[in-house]
Amino acid sequence: MSHNQPQNKERILIKGAYLMTQDNKLGNFVGDVLVADGRIVEVGRDLSDDRARVVEGTGNAVLPGFIDTHRHNWQGALRNLGPAWTYEEYRSNVQIGLGQHFEPRDVHVGNLAADLMSLDSGVTTVRDESHISNSPEHSDAAIAAHWESGIRAVFDHGWPSTEAEQWQFGSNRTHPADIRRIRNEVLSDDSARVTLNAMLRGPELSTPDVSAQDIRLARELGLRISMHVGLGEWGADQQAIRQLAETGLLASDMTFIHCCTSTDEELRMLAAHGATASVAGALEVFMPGLGQPATNRLLAAGVRPSLSVDTETIVSGDMFGVMRATLAYQQLILAGAAGPMDRIADLPTFDAADLLSFATIEGARAAGIDNRTGSLTAGKEADLIMIRLDHANLLPATNVAATIVAGGHAGNVDMVVVAGDVLKENGVLKAADTVFDEAAASRDRLFHAAGLPLPA
Ligand SMILES: [Zn+2]
């Protein structure tokens, strides 16, 4: 299959950077990274290579690209609409109000807009939770955008946004059968830059029988599974993780998103079965109705979580904001202002260095691609970012992890490499600049189709 995609794999030697490898054997040190044929060839000190283009890294930090383990990319043209929306407002405005009017071209440009802002802010892998499967063409359009943008994408095929209310909260419809076609004809290669997973509703958003059928389908197709659980009071009542454990369906191929109101016992079940978790720390503190980030409770259960953006309609799509918001909620716990599920005395804490590992290697583990990406390790695919530390907002840089987490933003991301393709360099994203004009036109068309006024 041929794809319209970046193909500028260079031989690059990054010299003298502060390497935050996220590889436990290597740790952090000032050194060099050699990239060739799309892979990391060597990570060490005083490397030389006659054929490589040398990139001066002195004074900069180099780390594996950020991995966002849960974003609804199709909403990229609707970004920043409702920072003060409640969960119900988000559902009625976006999933129910606008989602049913999406045409494939809207999915395409939304996904492209989401991918490009992700790359610009140092996200090299996104797990696209695509609950916009209104037709096969919608899914194909989403996947095409990932090939075009150059990002590494795990495409999690979900349910439609047409008849949205029939597809959630007790739905008796089984997962759309089109996932078989996508698996067999579109995304059959698990070593490609774009791969397939299944975004399932599970027992919390469908029925136990439907959930079991969907899980069996995903496993028959050899697909990992993501599932939204622990959503507000509904999630606390349903206890989806416990249901899965009791029916023998809970396994290490599952990533549980949010877990805000999952019980501590459920989180221990998740850990015992080797499953993984995705904390959307910014979205969860911004949007009333879901519950609070479960980061510290997950750590107490023995799970190092990954991090995710969720919906750009409410929060910024960069991982700097996600890391800061996730930390902000921990600090509220420490200040005695925790939500009802957090008890300070029992909870382990995390720091800036932990957050960087959640946003990189733990994301790769959650997406099941840690053999390919997530750390600066020889043999892995070359997904890395360089962050300038000599910008006014970061100087004087002291502890580098703290500097990046407390002060970093997309403008500090100087270089972005995915699978050896240089997609941003010298602070400039290499991308078609008409995408955002098309995104604005898509937004206008969608609001018109839904009979809604553009928010003033
Ligand atoms: Zn979500």
Mean pLDDT calculated for residue range 78-107: 94
More confident residue, 455 or 192: 192
Return the half-sphere exposure (C-beta side, CA atoms, 13 A cut-off) of residue 396.
1
Q: Distance, CA 370 to ligand 1 centroid (Å)?
A: 22
Average pLDDT score over residue span 267-294: 96
Which class would CATH give 12-64+374-429?
A: mainly beta
Location of structure tokens 């054929």 = 51
Share of the chain above pLDDT 90, in %: 89
Q: How far is the CA of 423 from the centre of ligand 1 (A)?
A: 27
Q: What is the pLDDT of residue 164?
A: 82
Confidence band, pLDDT 50/70/90 cuts, at residue 165: confident
Give the torsion through C-alpha atoms of 215, 220, 223, 225, to 10 deg: 10
User: What integer pLDDT is reported at residue 4 of this predicted model?
Assistant: 53
- The amino acid occupying position 67 is I
pLDDT at 345 over 80: no
Q: Tell me what pLDDT residue 6 has.
A: 60
The alpha carbon of 131 and the centre of ligand 1 are apart by a number of angstroms equal to 9
pLDDT number for residue 456: 72
Region 298-304: mean pLDDT is: 97
State the architecture of 66-366 in CATH terms: Alpha-Beta Barrel (3.20)
For residue 432, the model assigns a pLDDT of 67
Instruction: Say whether pLDDT at 85 is over 70.
Output: yes
CA of 283 to the centre of ligand 1 (A): 9
| Separation of alpha carbons 46 and 27, rounded Å | 17
CA 286 to chain centre: 17
What is the C-alpha separation between 91 and 271, in angstroms, rounded? 30
**Is pLDDT larger for residue 243 or for residue 432?**
243
C-alpha span between 13 and 15 (Å, rounded): 6
pLDDT in tens, 30-61: 999 999 999 999 999 999 999 999 999 999 99
Q: How far apart are CA 287 and CA 226, in angstroms?
A: 21
**Residue 346: pLDDT over 80:** no
* Residue type for position 70: H
Average pLDDT over residues 198-209: 96
> In the 8-state DSSP scheme, what is residue 194?
E
CA 20 / ligand 1 centre spacing (Å): 29
Distance 214 CA to ligand 1 centre (A): 18
**Residues 189-209, mean pLDDT to the nearest whole number:** 97
Position 3 confidence tier, pLDDT thresholds 50, 70, 90: low
Task: For residue 382, report the distance from its CA to the centre of ligand 1, in Å.
Answer: 28
Residue 72 C-alpha to ligand 1 middle, in angstroms?
A: 6
Across the range 381-396, mean pLDDT stands at: 97
Mean pLDDT across the chain: 95
Q: How far is the CA of 89 from the centre of ligand 1 (A)?
A: 14
Tell me how far the alpha carbon of residue 258 lies from the centroid of ligand 1, in angstroms: 8
The CA distance from 362 to 264, in Å, is: 20
CA of 399 to the centre of ligand 1 (A): 33
Report how far ligand 1's centroid is from the alpha carbon of 70 (Å): 6
Q: How far is the CA of 309 from the centre of ligand 1 (A)?
A: 8
Q: Where are the domains of the chain?
A: 12-64+374-429, 66-366
pLDDT at 231 over 90: yes
- 450 Cα: distance to centroid of ligand 1 (angstroms): 22
129 CA to centre of ligand 1 in angstroms = 7
Distance 42 CA to ligand 1 centre (A): 37
Burial of 179 (0-12, 13-18, 19+ CB in 10 A): buried
Please state, in angstroms and as integers, the Cα–Cα distance from residue 333 to each residue in 218, 250, 338, 347, 435, following that order.
38, 30, 4, 9, 41
Residue 1 pLDDT level (bands cut at 50, 70, 90): very low
- Please tell me the predicted confidence (pLDDT) of residue 2: 41
The sheet carrying 254-258 orders its strands as: 66-71, 123-130, 152-157, 194-200, 225-229, 254-258, 276-279, 306-307
The pLDDT value given to residue 168: 87
- Rounded CA-CA distance 101/157 in Å is 19
Between 343 and 178, the more confident residue is 178
Stretch 357-385: mean pLDDT: 98
Ligand 1 center to 406 CA (angstroms): 25
Ligand 1 mean position, distance from CA 454 (Å):
23
Q: What confidence tens digit (pLDDT) does each residue in 101-122 have?
A: 999 999 999 999 999 999 999 9
